[in-house]
Amino acid sequence: LIFFESDGRILWSSNPDYRGLLIDRNKQMLVDGKRSFYLREVHLKGAAENMPHLWFAASETYLLHMLTRYRNWAYAFSLLGGLTVVLLCWLMIRNFRRPFAQLMEATEAMVHGRLPVLNRSESRTELDQLLNRFADVLDALRREKAKVKRAHRKLQETAITDSLTGLYNRRYLQEINPGLFAQVERDGRYLTAIILDLDYFKAVNDEYGHLGGDAVLVHFARLLKHNSRANDHLFRIGGEEFLILNVAENPDDSVALAAKLRELVSESPANYQGESISMTVSAGISCCSGHSGEGSLSRLMRAADKALYEAKASGRNRVVVHTSCKEASDSARRRVKKLPLSLVRNTKKSS
């Protein structure tokens, strides 16, 4: 609002409603009913003293509104600035604590025997560089641990396998024995033992030396591996003596496998330094069931040994089935009867 005043009375106003109203020069206020105006005189240079005075009036309500608006803006900017500072502080603290937290988690995992994988940081701070070095240490420890595991596994394999043929040895036979008999008892199946012995092996050693004998043993072990079943356990238990253990519903397949191996060995000579070394094998088979009360490895082996002895005594190059397999299924007994009599004989039941 702009107006001219003389002697305290408004002569002219930008709002005609205020013409003729009185103003208080001392208080510099203009009150119009419910509205109040703050006044500010505009001094005109060169104006005579008796000339009307020019005033500028601002509504109190408008000023309060503007002050409130500016105050709210100030609060908003202050709050935004405070939040920005808090956010920046939080980010700084998080970035500062992150490497510490990762290092603490890694050390805690190492206390419990684990080697965690740490994500490397691209930051150049000292803490992040320390974290990266720690990650390198963990990587090196993991590599060394893998080497130790491989070496340990190799030692375990060496401890339970025959170094020449790669088949299991007697030590593993003792380890696996309880589990096999437990499976037989649990599933009501049969455990069959096939002991195979190369015929006249001493003559091979005498003629070709021990290296020639080793070549024959390796060749025979390879035949066993290539022609055995997935659930067969293959052992070398002596110089030229081998063992096949198998858990099955009935032992007729083991009898057929022994007959197949006997025929295959006679038809597959070993090769040593360009010479073919013919060989034959004798086999003795025994079996026990989970409900027969014969859950003894030594008893099972003695029965198979007895059958093998009979095969040797009967001219070698044959398979003999011990009477411990009497609980075999009818199909197994029929299959045994179909084999040539010269190759399969039943031992007399021992007292």
Q: Is the pLDDT of residue 282 over 90?
A: yes
Q: Nearest 5 degrees, angle CA 221-CA 223-CA 224?
A: 65
pLDDT digits (tens, 9 = 90+) for 92-125: 666 666 767 777 777 777 777 788 877 777 777 7
Last residue of a domain, one of 95, 111, 127: 111
Q: Is the pLDDT of residue 213 over 90?
A: yes
Contacts of residue 177, Cβ cutoff 8 Å, sequence gap at least 6: 297
174 and 58 within one domain: no
Q: In terms of Cα–Cα distance, which of 297, 304, 299, 286 is closest to 175?
A: 297
- Could you tell me if residue 5 is inside a domain? yes
Contact 301, 173 (CB under 8 A): no
185 and 224 within one domain: yes
198 and 82 within one domain: no
121 and 79 within one domain: no
Catalytic residues: 240
* Section 239-256 average pLDDT: 89
Q: In terms of Cα–Cα distance, which of 312, 339, 310, 345 is closest to 197?
A: 312
More confident residue, 306 or 90: 306
Q: Is the pLDDT of residue 331 over 70?
A: no
29 and 137 within one domain: no
pLDDT of residue 298: 87
Q: Is the pLDDT of residue 348 over 50?
A: no
129 and 187 within one domain: no
* Section 329-350 average pLDDT: 48
Buried b / exposed e across 319-329, counting CB within 10 Å, b at 16+? bbbbebbeebe
Report how far Cα 261 is from the mean position of its chain's Cα atoms: 41
- Could you tell me if residue 16 is inside a domain? yes
- Please, is 300 exposed, middle or buried when counting C-beta atoms within 10 Å of its C-beta (0-12, 13-18, 19+)? buried
Helix, strand and coil in the chain, % to nearest 5 = 50, 20, 25
Q: Sorting pLDDT into bands at 50, 70 and 90, what band is 342? A: very low
Distance CA 341, CA 349 (A): 18
Please report, rounded to a whole number, the percentage of residues in the chain having pLDDT higher than 70: 79
Tell me, what CATH number does 50's domain have?
3.30.450
Starting at the edge strand found earlier in the chain, the sheet holding 2-6 runs 9-13, 2-6, 53-59, 35-42, 29-32
- Could you tell me if residue 19 is inside a domain? yes
Contact 265, 204 (CB under 8 A): no
135 and 235 within one domain: no
More confident residue, 175 or 242: 242
Contact 255, 336 (CB under 8 A): yes
When divided into structural domains, the chain yields a total of 3
pLDDT digits (tens, 9 = 90+) for 49-63: 677 777 767 766 766
Q: In terms of Cα–Cα distance, which of 68, 65, 22, 17 is closest to 39?
A: 22
327 and 205 within one domain: yes
Could you list the residue range(s) of the whole structural domain that residue 142 is in?
Answer: 115-157
131 and 59 within one domain: no
pLDDT of residue 303: 92
Report how far Cα 349 is from the mean position of its chain's Cα atoms: 54
253 and 143 within one domain: no
Q: How many CB atoms lie within 10 A of CB 135?
A: 19
pLDDT digits (tens, 9 = 90+) for 26-49: 767 677 766 777 677 777 776 666
223 and 185 within one domain: yes
Distance CA 240, CA 261 (A): 15
What pTM value is reported for the model?
0.58
Q: Sorting pLDDT into bands at 50, 70 and 90, what band is 260? A: very high
Amino acid at 49: E
Contact 54, 4 (CB under 8 A): yes
Query: Diameter of the chain by CA atoms?
Result: 157
Contact 171, 160 (CB under 8 A): yes
pLDDT of residue 224: 95
Tell me, what CATH number does 242's domain have?
3.30.70.270
Arithmetic mean of pLDDT over the chain: 80
- 3-class secondary structure, 326: helix
> Tokens standing for 57?
């009036």
151 and 285 within one domain: no
